[in-house]
Structure formats: C-alpha cells, structure tokens
Structure 1
Amino acid sequence: MNLLLYISLAVTTNILGQITHSETVTIESSSYGPKLILNDANTANKVPLEFRSSNVIKWELGARNANEQHDLALWRHNNGTYHDVMWFNQDNGNVGIGSKTPNSKLVIQDLTKDQLSLINTTSNSWQLRAGSTGSLIFKDDGVERIRINSSGNMGIGTNSPQGKLHVSTGTSGDAIFRLEADTDNNNESDNPLIEIRQDGGQLGVNIGYSEENFGGNIFGIGTRYTNQESWDTFTINTSNGNVGIGTKNADSWKLAVKGKIRAEEIKVETGWADYVFKEGYDLPTLEEVEKHIMEKGHLINIPSAKEVEANGILLGEMNRLLLEKIEELTLYTLQQDNAIKELSSLREENKLLYKKLHSLEAVILKILEKQN
C-alpha cells in the first residue's frame, strides 16, 4: 500500500506537486529550523496534509483559511463525511476536541456520548460527560454514579438531586454517610465535625466530635448564636451512652440535664411504699415524730434542706418517701378515727349513765320526801 502525501512544496515556482513513495521518508537537517514547510498561496485551501489508505482519505490536517484565523485543525473522513476531531486556536492556544471554538485551554464536546473515559489495564473505566441539560455526569463502567445538575445540586445514586447533596440507593440498600478522622487512633485532636451555618455564619450548629470542645470520646451538638459558640447543648458519652443536656459531663447518669425540664408526663419506674401497710411495720409514734422534728427540723427518713441543696433528690426515691409519709399519716388518721369512735361510744354510755343517775336521784328524793 502506497502512502500518498498531498503537500504544498516550498519552492520558488509554488507548483503543487505529488510525490508517491513506497518506503520510509526521512527528512534530516543539521541546521536549526523547520524540516518541512507546507505552504499554499490559496487561503481557501485548508487541507495541506492528507492521510490516505488505498487512496481513500482517512484523516486531514491543516490550517483553516484566513477568515477562520488560521487555526490548526484535524478532521476524520468517513463515508464521504468530514468530522471535526481537534482544533488548535492560533490566537490563544486553546484546544478543542469535537469543538471548533474552544473557549478554555481544553474543550471536549460530544452531544451523543461520554466526553472522557479513564480505563485501567483490566478495562474497568470511569466516564465523564456533560449532559444535555447542563449536568456533569460521572459513570462507572457505564453506570451513572454522580451527577451535578445545572442548579449546582449533586446527586450520588440519583439523576435528579433535590438538594445541594442528595444521596440515594434507590429501591434497595442502605444509604450510609461516613465522616472519619484519626484512622490510626494516634491523635485525639483530629476529629470529624460538621459545621452548619446561616446568616453569614452568625448562627448555626456544630455536630460531631471535638476533643477540644466536647471532650474525649464525646459526640455532641453545639450551637452558635451571634458568633458565640456553646458546646454543651447536647452530648453523648460513647463509652457508656450517657446523655447530657446543658452539660458536657453526664457522669454516671443516663440523662443529666442542667436546667429546667417541662413535660406533659414523666414515668418513673422504682420501688413503692406499700410496705407501710404490711403487718409488722414499725410505725413511729407521734411522740417520736415530734421529738425528731424538734431535734432535726424535718420528718423521719426525709432529707434535710441542706442535704437537698448539696446532693439534689432522686425523683423516684423522693416520691417513695413522700408516699411513705402519706401512708403513715393515713395510719395516724385511722388511729385517731378509732379513738374518736371510742370517745363517741363512751359519750353515749355517759349519756345513759347520766339519765340513769338522774332517774335514781329522782327516786331518792321521793323516798326522802315520804320519810319527812
């Protein structure tokens, strides 16, 4: 097969010549300067170099005419049709692949398929393309993985992201987001933390881990208001699951709250005080209660005001103790009721005795009158 080169020869006669050669052509020169000059006085002729196979045009390389600013262009010829392959802009050096007017250093344009593929030695590949709606699409072996749409929303696993970051596994699988730091467990000050901001950064929340602010191995949610950070809004000690609200140190409590709590209902599961009503309960006498109050200033088994101020109270335990006092008070009331009933019975008996005594006095008076 002969290799045909159609060239404009750099000779004084400017005659178009054709050279047919079946061997390798070598152009050598010991001096500095161009080794091959292709020149055509006809500016409309934009194809000074053709590559043919069996005299069939396959590729063409040349400078565009003067009206097109003499850009260097490469065309592919197929079945009588020319296809733009690569363009080099003379003015700015921009390169276009599939584009005649590259407006940046490299422009790749294809309206029907992926613009760029990265393939390894085992034929696994990533493809990159610009979608018809202005989206940037990343594919893995032809399967879409990531899309950035014209609104700047990024979708992972979805081709219609509804937010700035939209992660989806479709109809099956878990959507897991993992944020990781300090993988070698060598520096506790390296922490994964998410910062959410609005109003120019004045407001927001900090979510994650921060050795410096939350403490060691503490997951937390901190708030930011008027540029001031608060790191004790909500914390979880990952070693025991204890939760702190308003405090970074939940200590041994499953829930530690520094501040007031408002709720519609709270359920406390603890022991109860029904033992007061069981046989054998040692009910203090009222004299003993009075003596304890006079000496201690509070009820038996109830903590003093000083103890409560220092240690607080256990809600379940305090409710049990209060119920214990209520049940003891109930027993005292029942004792007093029984005593009152006994007094009422004695009163009725006293009334009967009074009547009998009155009748007896009347009889005695009549007897004395008769004797007189």
Structure 2
Amino acid sequence: MKSIFTLLFSGIFILSSITTNAQISTSTGGAGSILPNSPISNTNVGIGTINPTATLDVNGDIKVKNAIFSGSSLADGQTFIDSNERNQKCIVFKAGNLVNSNNSRMMSFLDFPASNINAKSMFWFSIDDRSDNQRLRIYAETGGSSTFVLNNKIQQEFVKIFEDGNDKVFMHFPKPNSRVVIGGFGDYLLEHKFVVRGSAKIEGNILTDSNIGIGTSNFVDGADTYRLSVKGKIRAEEIKVYNTWADYVFSKDYKLPNLKEVEKYIAENGHLPNVPSAKEVTEKGLELGEMVKIQQEKIEELTLYLIQQNKDMEELKAQMKKIIEKK
C-alpha cells in the first residue's frame, strides 16, 4: 500500500511540474486534460473538480490495486431494494482480495444513511478472511447503539461488546472454553475461567451455585462437602449458625444420667458423655453448630442437677428443723 501511494504522489509531483494550479479533467486523455483551476489562485490539485479544497481533491472514486475508495455519501431517507443494494451504494472503502462473486473484499467500511433498511444512519467496518468468513465487525448507529464482534473461522461469535446508546453495556464470551485473565497471559492457571493477578474489589453481591475456597481448593472432608473452605484463621464480629437445639433435655421422657454414671464414664473415657474426645477433634475437626448444641445440652443437664440438689437441700433443711423443734 505504501508503494501505491508513493507512485500516486510521485505522479502528482510530475503533473505539478507541467503546470501549476492544475486541475485534471476526467473527460478525455492527453495533455489537454490538465487545465487551470478556477479561480487560478487556487494552488491545490484537483481531479474531476476545478475548485479543489484540499492539497489533493478527488471528485469520485479512487481505485488502487485491491482497493476501492469512495467519497460519496447518501442523504438520510433513502430507499433501497434490499440490503445488497444498500451495501453496494454505501461503500466508502474496500481493500484486500476479492472474497466472493459480489466483488466484496476482505476489508470494508460503509456509511449507511437512514433508510427503509435501517432506521438510523450508521457506519459499518468489517474484516473477512480469504474464505469470505467475517472475523471482525464494528458498527454503530448515529445517536444509538454500538457493537463490536469477533467471530471464529465458521463465523460463530466468541466475543461481543454491546452498548445500547443509553450507557447499558454488556460483554459476553459465549464459548464454553472461554477464559479471562487479568494481569497475566492466557496460559496462566488454565484450570480457571476467570483469573485476576492482584487485588480485586467488587462493590456488590457475589453469588455462586458452587463452592468458595480461600487458600484451598479442597471442599471435601470425609463424606461431607463444604460450601466454604478456608485454610487459615477466620476473624468475624459475629457468626450465626442454624442448627437443632438441646431443649430435649427438659422433656419429661429425657433420661438424665445420674452423677455416679457420669463419674464412671469420665473415669473410663476421659471426657463427658456425648462430647467428642480431644483425639476426635484433632483428627476430624469441630462442627461449630453441633458443638454449641452439645455444650448447651450439658448446661441444661447441670441445671437439672442443681435443681435436684436444691430440692434435696430443702428437704434436709425441713427434716433438720423438725428434729430441732422436737428437742
């Protein structure tokens, strides 16, 4: 392309050496086609115009090998037979190899007026491969939406960014093997769909239908799978746990162990009944909700023991009072 424009401007330099302030007529060939501008004080070069407004002003198409340029534009309110006619009449730039029988080339830029085909004026830019598969397209409406699309080799979308003209934006990666890596390259941590190397802040809710791991990717412990797994310490102002509670201790049919049975159990096992041993906690961990319930169970059992002891003490006091009164 650089050599093409070098030849083009070299030709312009030669023409300007023949006559200054020149306009090149497009009617007939030969030296007679080089005419003075009107007004003659105009020092620009024009092709197809006698009053060029730029250093080189071309009224009509510029055709270079494998490229077509057009400076024409259609006013809004046009009527076209179909989209093919619209496309042919709205070409601004085409370049690259021919890719189909409609004389389409690999790169296209079109300027569409508002018409019976599209309600708003818009531009269209696309790049195809040599098999006539569109790989990139960008288009936007005047005062309206904007769209950027990348397609694969069979013209399936794998990236799309869309803005509706009112600041509502979405970006999607519809292919199941899509990945996003921020702060690294695409081959970093291949097992993850979304990777951020560095701090990330989300001002809003984070929702997942799966599990969350902090410092670990292991969510299984024995037969249980945990929604949240943390390797390290957890600090919180408050933790709320939903679990069953120990009020069954106060049920009439609850069998409260007598203290001799409790004493014997402790002597044999080294811990309270229904309470995990130190070895079990070390090996299997501690279920917070279940442990709080067990502790509540023991508190309620202790309360029943105290109530019973208080009754026994009151009875002893009454008996002692009777003995003292008899004396």
TM range (shorter): 0.5 to 0.7
Whether 1:257 aligns to 2:230 is: yes
- Work out whether 1:298 is the aligned partner of 2:271: yes
**Deviation digits for residues 278-327 of structure 1 (CA, Å, limit 9, x no counterpart):** 01111111111111111111111111111111111212111111111111
> Highest relative contact order (Cα 8 Å, sep 6+), 1 or 2?
2
Name the CA distance, whole Å, in 1 between partners of 2:26 and 2:92: 31
Correspondence for 1:169: 164
Which structure 1 residue ranges, 4+ long, deviate > 6 Å from structure 2? Answer: 38-42, 67-71, 106-110, 125-129, 137-140, 154-159
Deviation at 1:348, TM superposition (A): 1.3
CA deviations 1:209-243 (Å, max 9, x no partner) are: 98x7374xx65655448xxxxxxxxx99x8x6122
Q: Aligned partners of 2:211 and 2:17: how far apart in 1?
A: 87
Residue pairs, 1:42-191, within 5 angstroms: 43-44=19-20, 46-47=22-23, 49=25, 51=27, 62=34, 73-76=46-49, 82-84=51-53, 87=56, 121-123=84-86, 142-143=120-121, 168-171=163-166, 175-181=169-175, 183=176, 191=178
Q: Cα–Cα, structure 1 residues 45 and 139, in superposed 2: closer, same or farther, change >3 Å?
A: closer
TM-score, with length taken from structure 1: 0.48
* Residue matched to 1:334: 307
Residues 86, 330 of structure 1: CA spacing in aligned structure 2 closer, same or farther, 3 A cutoff?
same
Q: Between the two proteins, what is the percent identity of the paired residues?
A: 31
CA contact (8 A) 1:128 1:138 kept: yes
CA–CA distance in structure 2, aligned partners of residues 127 and 49 of structure 1: 24
Matches within 5 A, 1:233-252: 241-251=210-220, 252=225
Return the offset for 1:128: 8.2
Aligned length: 237
Which residue of structure 2 lines up, in the alignment, with residue 278 of structure 1?
A: 251
Measured at CA, do residues 349 and 224 of structure 1 come closer, stay the same or move farther in structure 2, by a change above 3 Å? Answer: same
What amino acid sits opposite 2:219 in the alignment? A
5+ residue gaps, structure 1, are 1-37, 53-59, 89-95, 99-105, 130-136, 147-153, 184-189, 226-234, 355-372
Q: Deviation of residue 86 (structure 1)?
A: 8.9
**1:120–1:64 Cα change, 3 Å:** farther
Measure, in 2, the Cα distance between the counterparts of 1:223 and 1:39. 60
CA offsets 1:152-183 (integer angstroms, 9 cap, x no match): xx998988x9xxxx9643559x64321245x5
Higher-Rg member (1/2): 1
Match of 1:213 among 175, 189, 203: 189
8 Å Cα contact 1:86-1:97 kept in structure 2? no
Of 160, 168, 179, the residue aligned with 1:192 is 179
TM-score (norm 2): 0.53
Cα distance between partner residues in 1 of 2:18 and 2:195: 74
Please state how far the C-alpha of 1:264 moved relative to its aligned partner: 2.5
Q: CA contact under 8 A between 2:70 and 2:91: conserved in structure 1?
A: no
Structure 2 CA distance for aligned equivalents of residues 298 and 275 of structure 1: 21
